Structure 1
Amino acid sequence: MVADKEEEYFDVVDENNVVTGKQRRSEVHRLGLLHRAVYCFVFNPAGELLIQRRSLKKRIGAGKWDLSCAEHLQPGESYREGAQRGLQEELDIRKTISAGPLSPTHLREHKEGFCFVDREFVESYRVDNYVGSFRCDPEEVEEAKFISLIELKQAVEQHPEEYTPWFLDEIRLLDWFGAVEAVDDQQ
Protein backbone atom coordinates (compact mmCIF):
# COMPACT_ATOMS: atom_id res chain seq x y z
CA MET A 1 0.00 0.00 0.00
CA VAL A 2 1.30 3.49 -0.87
CA ALA A 3 2.03 5.61 2.23
CA ASP A 4 0.45 8.75 0.73
CA LYS A 5 -2.77 7.67 -0.94
CA GLU A 6 -2.79 10.80 -3.13
CA GLU A 7 0.40 9.53 -4.76
CA GLU A 8 -0.90 6.06 -5.65
CA TYR A 9 -1.57 5.42 -9.34
CA PHE A 10 -4.84 4.45 -11.01
CA ASP A 11 -5.54 3.17 -14.49
CA VAL A 12 -7.20 5.93 -16.50
CA VAL A 13 -9.88 4.67 -18.89
CA ASP A 14 -11.89 6.03 -21.81
CA GLU A 15 -15.69 6.18 -22.21
CA ASN A 16 -15.66 2.47 -23.12
CA ASN A 17 -13.79 1.53 -19.92
CA VAL A 18 -10.60 0.71 -21.88
CA VAL A 19 -7.31 1.58 -20.16
CA THR A 20 -5.55 4.51 -21.82
CA GLY A 21 -2.82 5.21 -19.27
CA LYS A 22 -1.99 5.75 -15.60
CA GLN A 23 -2.20 8.83 -13.40
CA ARG A 24 -1.80 9.74 -9.72
CA ARG A 25 -4.98 9.67 -7.61
CA SER A 26 -4.70 13.39 -6.86
CA GLU A 27 -4.63 14.25 -10.57
CA VAL A 28 -7.38 11.77 -11.48
CA HIS A 29 -9.74 13.44 -9.02
CA ARG A 30 -8.60 17.01 -9.70
CA LEU A 31 -9.08 16.61 -13.45
CA GLY A 32 -12.13 14.35 -13.28
CA LEU A 33 -10.47 11.56 -15.28
CA LEU A 34 -12.36 8.31 -15.77
CA HIS A 35 -11.07 5.43 -13.66
CA ARG A 36 -12.33 2.24 -11.97
CA ALA A 37 -13.74 1.38 -8.55
CA VAL A 38 -15.47 -1.56 -6.94
CA TYR A 39 -18.08 -1.88 -4.21
CA CYS A 40 -18.61 -4.88 -1.97
CA PHE A 41 -21.62 -5.70 0.19
CA VAL A 42 -21.15 -8.15 3.07
CA PHE A 43 -24.19 -9.96 4.47
CA ASN A 44 -24.40 -12.19 7.54
CA PRO A 45 -26.59 -15.34 7.68
CA ALA A 46 -29.52 -13.25 9.02
CA GLY A 47 -29.43 -11.18 5.81
CA GLU A 48 -28.10 -8.08 7.57
CA LEU A 49 -25.75 -5.80 5.65
CA LEU A 50 -22.39 -4.74 7.06
CA ILE A 51 -22.07 -0.96 6.78
CA GLN A 52 -19.10 1.15 7.78
CA ARG A 53 -18.76 4.70 9.00
CA ARG A 54 -15.95 6.34 7.08
CA SER A 55 -12.94 7.60 8.98
CA LEU A 56 -13.08 11.21 10.13
CA LYS A 57 -9.66 11.54 8.43
CA LYS A 58 -11.23 11.02 4.99
CA ARG A 59 -11.32 14.04 2.69
CA ILE A 60 -14.62 13.01 1.11
CA GLY A 61 -17.57 11.60 3.07
CA ALA A 62 -15.79 11.77 6.43
CA GLY A 63 -17.93 10.29 9.21
CA LYS A 64 -20.71 9.18 6.85
CA TRP A 65 -22.11 5.67 6.68
CA ASP A 66 -21.03 3.75 3.61
CA LEU A 67 -21.38 0.34 2.03
CA SER A 68 -19.28 -2.53 3.37
CA CYS A 69 -16.29 -1.65 1.19
CA ALA A 70 -15.52 0.78 -1.64
CA GLU A 71 -12.15 0.54 -3.32
CA HIS A 72 -10.33 2.14 -6.24
CA LEU A 73 -8.65 -0.43 -8.45
CA GLN A 74 -4.89 -0.62 -8.65
CA PRO A 75 -3.33 -0.63 -12.13
CA GLY A 76 -4.01 -3.92 -13.90
CA GLU A 77 -6.30 -5.21 -11.15
CA SER A 78 -9.67 -6.80 -11.93
CA TYR A 79 -12.84 -5.62 -10.21
CA ARG A 80 -13.13 -8.91 -8.30
CA GLU A 81 -9.48 -8.70 -7.16
CA GLY A 82 -10.04 -5.12 -6.01
CA ALA A 83 -13.11 -6.13 -4.01
CA GLN A 84 -11.20 -8.92 -2.29
CA ARG A 85 -8.22 -6.64 -1.55
CA GLY A 86 -10.46 -3.86 -0.23
CA LEU A 87 -12.24 -6.19 2.18
CA GLN A 88 -8.87 -7.34 3.52
CA GLU A 89 -7.37 -3.85 3.82
CA GLU A 90 -10.36 -2.02 5.30
CA LEU A 91 -12.02 -4.72 7.45
CA ASP A 92 -9.60 -7.67 7.60
CA ILE A 93 -12.26 -9.86 5.96
CA ARG A 94 -10.77 -12.73 3.98
CA LYS A 95 -13.91 -14.57 2.88
CA THR A 96 -14.22 -15.18 -0.86
CA ILE A 97 -16.63 -13.08 -2.90
CA SER A 98 -19.96 -14.93 -3.27
CA ALA A 99 -21.55 -13.15 -6.22
CA GLY A 100 -20.94 -10.46 -8.75
CA PRO A 101 -20.98 -8.35 -10.59
CA LEU A 102 -24.46 -7.61 -9.22
CA SER A 103 -25.29 -5.22 -12.07
CA PRO A 104 -23.62 -4.23 -15.33
CA THR A 105 -20.52 -2.07 -15.04
CA HIS A 106 -21.82 1.49 -14.78
CA LEU A 107 -20.49 5.03 -14.63
CA ARG A 108 -20.84 6.94 -11.38
CA GLU A 109 -19.97 10.61 -11.01
CA HIS A 110 -19.61 12.66 -7.84
CA LYS A 111 -18.37 16.22 -7.49
CA GLU A 112 -17.36 17.78 -4.21
CA GLY A 113 -16.31 21.42 -4.20
CA PHE A 114 -14.05 22.78 -6.91
CA CYS A 115 -11.14 20.38 -6.56
CA PHE A 116 -12.66 16.89 -6.50
CA VAL A 117 -14.44 15.12 -9.33
CA ASP A 118 -14.90 11.36 -9.05
CA ARG A 119 -15.81 9.76 -12.40
CA GLU A 120 -15.52 6.03 -12.17
CA PHE A 121 -16.74 2.84 -13.75
CA VAL A 122 -18.09 0.67 -10.94
CA GLU A 123 -18.95 -2.98 -10.39
CA SER A 124 -20.54 -4.35 -7.20
CA TYR A 125 -19.94 -7.70 -5.53
CA ARG A 126 -21.30 -9.41 -2.44
CA VAL A 127 -20.20 -11.76 0.30
CA ASP A 128 -22.97 -13.94 1.75
CA ASN A 129 -23.26 -15.72 5.10
CA TYR A 130 -20.30 -13.95 6.69
CA VAL A 131 -19.94 -15.08 10.31
CA GLY A 132 -16.37 -14.04 11.09
CA SER A 133 -15.09 -11.00 12.91
CA PHE A 134 -13.84 -7.83 11.29
CA ARG A 135 -11.21 -5.31 12.31
CA CYS A 136 -11.50 -1.74 11.04
CA ASP A 137 -8.47 0.02 9.56
CA PRO A 138 -8.63 3.36 11.47
CA GLU A 139 -7.29 5.24 8.44
CA GLU A 140 -10.33 4.07 6.48
CA VAL A 141 -13.12 3.16 8.91
CA GLU A 142 -14.39 4.61 12.22
CA GLU A 143 -16.75 1.72 12.96
CA ALA A 144 -18.77 -0.98 11.25
CA LYS A 145 -22.00 -2.77 12.10
CA PHE A 146 -24.56 -5.15 10.65
CA ILE A 147 -28.02 -3.71 9.99
CA SER A 148 -31.18 -5.19 8.52
CA LEU A 149 -32.34 -3.77 5.19
CA ILE A 150 -35.61 -2.70 6.85
CA GLU A 151 -33.70 -0.73 9.51
CA LEU A 152 -31.37 0.70 6.87
CA LYS A 153 -34.30 1.84 4.73
CA GLN A 154 -35.86 3.63 7.72
CA ALA A 155 -32.55 5.24 8.70
CA VAL A 156 -31.90 6.43 5.13
CA GLU A 157 -35.40 7.91 4.88
CA GLN A 158 -34.97 9.77 8.19
CA HIS A 159 -31.37 10.96 7.72
CA PRO A 160 -30.09 10.59 4.14
CA GLU A 161 -27.37 13.16 4.87
CA GLU A 162 -25.66 10.60 7.14
CA TYR A 163 -24.88 8.33 4.16
CA THR A 164 -22.47 8.67 1.26
CA PRO A 165 -24.16 9.58 -2.04
CA TRP A 166 -22.56 6.61 -3.83
CA PHE A 167 -23.97 4.21 -1.23
CA LEU A 168 -27.46 5.66 -1.68
CA ASP A 169 -27.11 5.52 -5.48
CA GLU A 170 -25.96 1.90 -5.46
CA ILE A 171 -28.67 0.52 -3.16
CA ARG A 172 -31.26 2.26 -5.33
CA LEU A 173 -29.69 0.81 -8.49
CA LEU A 174 -29.72 -2.68 -6.96
CA ASP A 175 -33.33 -2.06 -5.77
CA TRP A 176 -32.75 -3.57 -2.35
CA PHE A 177 -35.34 -1.29 -0.78
CA GLY A 178 -37.86 -2.48 -3.38
CA ALA A 179 -37.50 -5.96 -1.91
CA VAL A 180 -38.02 -4.50 1.58
CA GLU A 181 -41.18 -2.69 0.42
CA ALA A 182 -42.56 -5.96 -1.01
CA VAL A 183 -42.08 -7.62 2.40
CA ASP A 184 -43.74 -4.63 4.13
CA ASP A 185 -46.72 -4.86 1.76
CA GLN A 186 -47.21 -8.56 2.56
CA GLN A 187 -47.36 -7.96 6.31
Structure 2
Amino acid sequence: MSTADEILDIVDENDHVTGQAPRGEIYAKGLRHRSVFVLARDADDRVFVHRRTPVKLVFPSLYDMFVGGVVGAGESYDEAALREAEEELGVSGLPRPVPLFPFQYTSENGAYRSWSYVYEVRCTLPVSPQVEEVAWHDFLPEEELERRLGTWQWAPDGLAAYERLKAFRTGRA
Protein backbone atom coordinates (compact mmCIF):
# COMPACT_ATOMS: atom_id res chain seq x y z
CA MET A 1 0.00 0.00 0.00
CA SER A 2 1.37 3.43 -0.90
CA THR A 3 1.26 6.32 1.55
CA ALA A 4 -1.41 7.96 -0.60
CA ASP A 5 -3.66 4.94 0.07
CA GLU A 6 -3.26 5.05 3.88
CA ILE A 7 -6.65 5.60 5.56
CA LEU A 8 -6.88 8.64 7.84
CA ASP A 9 -9.63 10.10 9.98
CA ILE A 10 -11.25 13.29 8.73
CA VAL A 11 -11.95 15.70 11.60
CA ASP A 12 -13.98 18.87 12.05
CA GLU A 13 -12.88 22.20 13.55
CA ASN A 14 -13.34 20.69 17.05
CA ASP A 15 -11.20 17.61 16.29
CA HIS A 16 -14.19 15.26 16.17
CA VAL A 17 -14.00 12.44 13.60
CA THR A 18 -16.48 12.97 10.77
CA GLY A 19 -15.30 10.28 8.35
CA GLN A 20 -12.34 8.52 6.81
CA ALA A 21 -10.57 8.71 3.47
CA PRO A 22 -7.27 7.78 1.83
CA ARG A 23 -4.44 10.22 2.53
CA GLY A 24 -4.15 11.15 -1.17
CA GLU A 25 -7.83 12.12 -1.30
CA ILE A 26 -7.54 14.10 1.95
CA TYR A 27 -4.60 16.07 0.55
CA ALA A 28 -6.24 16.56 -2.86
CA LYS A 29 -9.48 17.88 -1.32
CA GLY A 30 -7.89 19.84 1.54
CA LEU A 31 -9.75 17.86 4.21
CA ARG A 32 -8.81 18.37 7.85
CA HIS A 33 -6.96 15.41 9.37
CA ARG A 34 -4.75 14.72 12.40
CA SER A 35 -0.97 14.98 12.61
CA VAL A 36 1.83 14.98 15.17
CA PHE A 37 5.04 16.99 15.49
CA VAL A 38 7.81 15.56 17.67
CA LEU A 39 10.83 17.67 18.56
CA ALA A 40 13.65 15.16 19.14
CA ARG A 41 16.64 16.19 21.24
CA ASP A 42 19.84 14.21 21.75
CA ALA A 43 21.79 13.76 25.02
CA ASP A 44 23.52 17.13 24.38
CA ASP A 45 20.12 18.89 24.02
CA ARG A 46 20.62 19.43 20.27
CA VAL A 47 17.56 19.30 17.98
CA PHE A 48 17.18 16.72 15.22
CA VAL A 49 16.87 18.66 11.94
CA HIS A 50 16.37 17.06 8.55
CA ARG A 51 15.55 17.72 4.91
CA ARG A 52 12.57 15.84 3.57
CA THR A 53 13.02 13.67 0.48
CA PRO A 54 11.78 14.96 -2.89
CA VAL A 55 9.18 12.15 -3.08
CA LYS A 56 7.19 13.27 -0.02
CA LEU A 57 3.49 13.94 -0.76
CA VAL A 58 3.57 17.31 1.01
CA PHE A 59 6.42 19.79 1.42
CA PRO A 60 9.02 17.75 -0.51
CA SER A 61 12.72 18.67 -0.17
CA LEU A 62 12.07 21.19 2.62
CA TYR A 63 13.81 21.26 5.99
CA ASP A 64 12.02 20.39 9.22
CA MET A 65 12.88 20.50 12.91
CA PHE A 66 10.22 17.95 13.78
CA VAL A 67 9.77 14.29 13.03
CA GLY A 68 6.21 13.14 12.82
CA GLY A 69 3.40 12.80 10.38
CA VAL A 70 -0.22 11.87 10.08
CA VAL A 71 -2.28 10.03 12.66
CA GLY A 72 -3.76 6.87 11.18
CA ALA A 73 -7.48 6.12 11.29
CA GLY A 74 -8.40 5.06 14.84
CA GLU A 75 -4.89 5.81 16.14
CA SER A 76 -4.34 8.16 19.11
CA TYR A 77 -2.06 11.18 18.95
CA ASP A 78 0.21 9.55 21.56
CA GLU A 79 0.48 6.31 19.57
CA ALA A 80 1.22 8.20 16.37
CA ALA A 81 3.88 10.37 18.06
CA LEU A 82 5.85 7.34 19.25
CA ARG A 83 5.38 5.41 15.98
CA GLU A 84 6.39 8.34 13.78
CA ALA A 85 9.38 9.32 15.94
CA GLU A 86 10.75 5.77 15.93
CA GLU A 87 10.11 5.34 12.20
CA GLU A 88 11.68 8.61 11.10
CA LEU A 89 14.64 8.43 13.48
CA GLY A 90 15.13 4.74 12.66
CA VAL A 91 15.22 3.62 16.29
CA SER A 92 13.20 1.42 18.60
CA GLY A 93 12.77 1.75 22.32
CA LEU A 94 12.32 5.53 22.52
CA PRO A 95 10.70 6.86 25.66
CA ARG A 96 7.10 7.95 25.10
CA PRO A 97 7.12 11.49 23.64
CA VAL A 98 5.81 14.12 26.06
CA PRO A 99 2.67 15.91 24.80
CA LEU A 100 2.98 19.69 24.98
CA PHE A 101 -0.01 21.32 23.25
CA PRO A 102 -2.51 20.97 20.38
CA PHE A 103 -3.00 23.44 17.55
CA GLN A 104 -4.72 23.75 14.20
CA TYR A 105 -2.66 24.30 11.07
CA THR A 106 -3.95 25.62 7.76
CA SER A 107 -1.60 26.30 4.85
CA GLU A 108 -1.60 29.79 3.32
CA ASN A 109 -3.68 28.61 0.36
CA GLY A 110 -6.05 26.64 2.62
CA ALA A 111 -5.35 23.37 0.80
CA TYR A 112 -3.67 21.61 3.76
CA ARG A 113 -5.48 21.54 7.10
CA SER A 114 -4.73 19.56 10.21
CA TRP A 115 -5.44 19.24 13.89
CA SER A 116 -1.99 18.70 15.31
CA TYR A 117 -0.28 17.92 18.59
CA VAL A 118 3.28 18.96 19.46
CA TYR A 119 5.50 16.60 21.47
CA GLU A 120 9.06 16.45 22.67
CA VAL A 121 11.29 13.38 23.15
CA ARG A 122 14.86 12.69 24.23
CA CYS A 123 16.68 10.35 21.83
CA THR A 124 19.97 9.07 23.20
CA LEU A 125 20.06 6.17 20.73
CA PRO A 126 22.09 6.24 17.49
CA VAL A 127 19.70 7.34 14.73
CA SER A 128 19.34 5.77 11.31
CA PRO A 129 16.61 7.78 9.56
CA GLN A 130 14.44 6.25 6.85
CA VAL A 131 15.97 7.01 3.47
CA GLU A 132 12.43 7.27 2.03
CA GLU A 133 11.63 10.09 4.45
CA VAL A 134 14.92 11.87 5.22
CA ALA A 135 17.43 13.11 2.62
CA TRP A 136 19.80 14.75 5.12
CA HIS A 137 19.91 15.04 8.92
CA ASP A 138 21.93 16.29 11.86
CA PHE A 139 21.46 17.27 15.49
CA LEU A 140 21.91 21.05 15.72
CA PRO A 141 22.22 23.30 18.76
CA GLU A 142 19.04 25.35 18.98
CA GLU A 143 21.04 28.55 18.35
CA GLU A 144 22.20 27.09 15.02
CA LEU A 145 18.63 26.08 14.18
CA GLU A 146 17.51 29.65 14.88
CA ARG A 147 20.23 31.01 12.56
CA ARG A 148 19.06 28.67 9.78
CA LEU A 149 15.41 29.78 10.00
CA GLY A 150 16.07 32.70 7.66
CA THR A 151 18.30 30.88 5.19
CA TRP A 152 16.86 27.39 4.66
CA GLN A 153 13.48 26.59 3.15
CA TRP A 154 11.35 25.03 5.91
CA ALA A 155 8.19 22.93 5.82
CA PRO A 156 5.56 25.57 6.63
CA ASP A 157 3.62 23.37 9.06
CA GLY A 158 6.78 22.55 11.01
CA LEU A 159 7.77 26.20 11.04
CA ALA A 160 4.32 27.14 12.38
CA ALA A 161 4.61 24.44 15.06
CA TYR A 162 8.08 25.68 16.03
CA GLU A 163 6.89 29.29 16.38
CA ARG A 164 4.04 28.08 18.59
CA LEU A 165 6.50 25.99 20.61
CA LYS A 166 8.67 29.05 21.26
CA ALA A 167 5.60 30.99 22.39
CA PHE A 168 4.53 28.06 24.59
CA ARG A 169 7.95 28.01 26.29
CA THR A 170 7.75 31.70 27.12
CA GLY A 171 4.13 31.52 28.32
CA ARG A 172 2.75 33.51 25.37
CA ALA A 173 0.73 30.62 23.94
Scaled by the length of structure 2, the TM-score of the pair is 0.89
Q: Output the amino acid matched with 2:104.
A: L
Query: 1:82, CA displacement in angstroms?
Result: 0.3
Q: Output the amino acid matched with 1:121.
A: W
* Higher Rg of the two aligned structures: 1
Query: 1:91, CA displacement in angstroms?
Result: 1.9
Indicate if the aligned counterparts of 1:9 and 1:22 stay in contact, CA closer than 8 A.
yes
What's the counterpart of residue 124 of structure 2? Answer: 131
What's the counterpart of residue 82 of structure 2? Answer: 84
What's the counterpart of residue 33 of structure 1? Answer: 31
In the alignment, the residues of structure 2 paired with residue 9 and residue 98 of structure 1 have an alpha-carbon distance, to the nearest angstrom, of: 23
In the alignment, the residues of structure 1 paired with residue 13 and residue 165 of structure 2 have an alpha-carbon distance, to the nearest angstrom, of: 23
Aligned residue for 1:108, secondary structure, equals strand
Indicate if the aligned counterparts of 1:97 and 1:125 stay in contact, CA closer than 8 A.
no
Structure-to-structure mapping, 1:84-163, within 5 angstroms:
84-94=82-92, 95-100=94-99, 102-103=100-101, 105-110=102-107, 117-128=111-122, 130-157=123-150, 159-160=151-152, 162-163=153-154
Aligned-pair identity in percent equals 26
Aligned residue for 1:174, secondary structure, equals helix
Query: 1:164, CA displacement in angstroms?
Result: 1.1
Q: Which of 171, 175, 181 matches 2:162?
A: 171
Q: What do the CA deviations read for 1:49-96 (whole angstroms, capped 9, x no partner)?
A: 011110122243222111231210111111110011112222222312
In the alignment, the residues of structure 2 paired with residue 123 and residue 26 of structure 1 have an alpha-carbon distance, to the nearest angstrom, of: 21
Query: 1:98, CA displacement in angstroms?
Result: 4.2
Q: Output the amino acid matched with 2:156.
A: P
Scaled by the length of structure 1, the TM-score of the pair is 0.82
In the alignment, the residues of structure 2 paired with residue 126 and residue 7 of structure 1 have an alpha-carbon distance, to the nearest angstrom, of: 28
Q: Which runs of 5+ in 2 are unaligned?
A: none
Aligned residue for 2:36, secondary structure, equals strand
Indicate if the aligned counterparts of 1:12 and 1:20 stay in contact, CA closer than 8 A.
yes
Q: Which runs of 4+ in 1 moved over 3 A?
A: none
Aligned residue for 1:138, secondary structure, equals coil
Q: Which runs of 5+ in 1 are unaligned?
A: 180-187
What's the counterpart of residue 185 of structure 1? Answer: none
Aligned residue for 2:149, secondary structure, equals helix
Query: 1:149, CA displacement in angstroms?
Result: 0.8
Query: 1:111, CA displacement in angstroms?
Result: 5.4
Query: Which structure has more helix as a fraction of its residues?
Result: 1
